[in-house]
Structures are given as structure tokens and as C-alpha cells.
Chains A and B, each alone.
Chain A
């Protein structure tokens, strides 16, 4: 068989296969058409209607059940929202009911301020007691009176542990705590101030607090020692006769005058700015020291 014959034979075979495939497809298509015709024959309009009469009520039934279930869920959510809103209303109503009417009269406020003054003066007196009590403690080693004093102070304090100790103690200085007159009165409370001056009328320490007329106690009591007061605390032997005011800038000597070009403080040309000749302490510009001072725990040195 030569090459041309083989080619012809292959072509004939391909044509035959294509024809067979086409025939198969035609046969399948015809079968599908017949199936469709059968289907539509079975599902005639009346049969569809009959089926619908059975299916639709079921669908409607499901729809009704779902609708009612959904409504119930929604109602439950709304009930919760209503309850929450009602509790908000109740809370607001309680807030309104609890509003304290304005102080009945001027006498009420004056009486409250008088109570604050009396309590404040008692606190100042008890603080002043600490000075002698500590001296006694040092000689007798009996801490009982100190404790009693602290307990007496605690009567006036809402949080006794915060401030029932000694607020300031300088053994060699004459000083006195005093309660400053109170003028402010807001919602049954009054902002209060105690000051501690020495014999030269220099402020050594002060304390602040909030007096509550209903409880006759002071809350948020905080006490602070001034820089001069701090210096007197540290006095070992003798009090400073006339305390020198501390400048706002610790690095600057108040008495020094700018003397440009003074040989004694003129740095060498190679010296960098901020040399030890000025010796400032850059870490603290204002040396006010809030101090919590406790006589009982304080180290006597």
C-alpha cells in the first residue's frame, strides 16, 4: 500500500466516525423531545391545579407559622427594650425624687459651716497635740497617747488611715496648725483648708479637705509641706531664725546679681554650656515637696 492509499483510507475512516457521532446525537435529541412531551402530557393544567391546591395550603401554613414565630421573637425583643427603658425611667425618677431640696434656710448653712469650723478647729488642735505627744513619747517610750490622739482624729475623717497621723513635725520650731474660715458650701459639702505657720508667720505646711455636713467628717484630706517647712523638718539642732525663701528656680541664687564677665565665674573658652560653676539641679525646677508625714512610723534619726 502506497502512501496515497493510506491517506485515503484514514480520511474515509474519519468521515465514518463523524457520521456515527452525528447520528447518535440526533437519536439522543429525539429521545429528549419525547421525554419532554411525556412530561407535559402527565402535568396537564388540571393536574397542576390539583397539586397546587395541596401544596399552597402547606406553604401558607408554613408562612403563617413563620410569621407568628417571627412576631413573637420581635415582641420578646421589644419587651426587653421596654423593660430596659422602664428601668431607665425609674432610675431617672429616683434621681429626681432624691434631689435634695435647697438648704432650708440661711440658718441651716450657717449651722453647717459652724459645725465644719468646730470640727476643723478640733482637727487643728489634735494636730498641734502631736508636738507635745511626740516629745513625751521620746522620753517615756509610751505610744498610748499618740494612738489615742490618732483615734480622736479619725473621728473627724472619712478615711482615717489617710490623715490621722501627724501632718507636720519640726521639734525645734514654734508652729501652730489653724483651721481657716470656711465660706464655700455646695451640696452639703464645704472645701476646707488648714494652715501651719511658724512664729514668724511663715507657712510651713497646709492641708486641704472636703467637709460633709451630713456626716460631720472630712473627706479627701491631703497635706503638704512647703520647702521652708521641709527645711525645718530637717533641722537637727537649731531652728533657722529667719528662714530664707526658696526661689522658684533652685539653680538660681536669689541674692546673686548677673555679673557678666566676672572672673570668678567665667568659664574657660572650651567649657560647654551648663558647667558645674553654676551647678544647677536641672531635674527639679520647683522643689515643692508634698509630704506624707507619719509620727508613728517616722524615723526619729
Chain B
């Protein structure tokens, strides 16, 4: 029997070590899972708290200044569509089409048209071929972004000063430019009193 003792002791030791290993790692695993779950809970709390703060903040700002953020967001979309209408073109035909459409759609005065839709000089060769500056120089404009500032709120009419950034292409060369427009938008989304300057 004596000769079995080392074997039995070692067998017991092996079993105990296996149990210890499983127990300890399992314990840590559980601890880690609890932590992950706690982190997720805190993340949810943060999200809810942020939303609540934003909503409350918006409500108080609205009370203090009369500015409704959702209204401004809507107005920005309207302004963005307007600016996009006037500065997005890549050919003479498209330019002229946008010019006509914009004159019909928005009440643009002559001063505005002179800046943003000046007449394009068309030269005619002896053989009758017409050349216009836009197509000859492959000019094109694309709206990049607008940043608007509310400068006045009066009877639900918001007046804005907006900085627009456009990308311009000319014979394949690209550049970026900035211009400003001032306009008012009423509750129905009608844009008026449009002025612009480069």
C-alpha cells in the first residue's frame, strides 16, 4: 500500500490544482462580465443624461432668446438648398438653366443677379460657332458647406448672416472660395430679402 502513497498524493494534488485553476479563473471571468455590464449601464445613463440636458438646455435657450434650434436646423436646410441652387453648375447650359430657375423660384434682385448670375459673354466665330466663358474654361462650382448666424428674430421671421464655402473648378484646377449671404426665412419656409457679397 505504501508504494501507492506518492501516486495518490500527486493525483490529489493534480485534482486540487485543476479545481483551483477553474475556480479562480471562473471568479475573475464573472468579475469581468459584471464590470462590462456596469460599463454598459453607465453608458446608457450618460446617453440619457446627455439627451435630457440637451432638451432642457434647448428649452431654456428658447425661453431666453426666442431661438428654436429645430427651426434653425430646418432653415439651414432651406438655405443650403437655395445656395446649392445658385452655385452648383458645371456647364453653360446648366448655368443658364439654374439662372432661369432661380429667378423664377426666388425673388432675386438685380444686385444679387449681377454678383451670382452675371450674363455670360458669348462670342461667335466667323463660322457661327459660339464660345462661352464657362465651357471654354471648364468652369464649375459646387457648394461645400454653409455656416449660419442668426442676426435677428422678429415675429417668427429669422434673419441670417451665412458664410458659404464653395469648391470651384477651372480647367481641372480646384480651389475653394467663400462668400456671404444675408436672408430672412419665415415659418412657412419662404426665403426672402436675399443679399449676397463675395
Contact = CB atoms under 8 A, between A and B. Distances in A.
A144 interface: no
Interface in B154-198: 161, 163, 166, 168-171, 173, 175, 177-180, 197-198
B27 to A, nearest CB: 9
Interface string A196-232: 0000001100101000000000000000101110000
Contacts of A174: none
A68 interface: yes
Interface stretch (A7-15, A31-39, A268-276): A268-276
B135 to A, nearest CB: 8
A56 B89 CA distance: 86
Given A203-B180, A226-B198, A253-B118, A60 B13 contact: yes
Contacts of B29: 78
B179 A85 contact: no
Given A85-B39, A245-B197, A271 B125 contact: yes
Contacts of B108: none
Contacts, number: 273
A82 interface: yes
A226 B181 CA distance: 12
A286 interface: yes
Interface size grouping (class) on chain B: 35 or more
B17 A67 contact: yes
A139 interface: no
B65 A57 contact: no
Interface stretch (A96-104, A130-138, A157-165): A96-104
B7 A53 contact: yes
B112 to A, nearest CB: 9
B79 interface: no
> In this complex, which of A78, A108, A249, A256 has the most chain B Cβ atoms within 10 angstroms of its Cβ?
A249
Interface in B87-130: 87, 111, 114-127, 130
12 contacts: A61-B13, A103-B61, A193-B151, A193-B161, A227-B197, A245-B197, A251-B137, A254-B115, A267-B126, A268-B126, A269-B126, A284-B175
Interface of A: 50, 53-54, 56-58, 60-61, 63-65, 67-68, 70-71, 74-75, 78-79, 81-82, 85-86, 88-89, 92-93, 95-96, 99-103, 105-106, 108-110, 113, 180-181, 183-187, 191-193, 195, 202-203, 206, 208, 224, 226-228, 245-249, 251-254, 256-262, 265-269, 271, 273-275, 277-278, 280, 282-288, 290
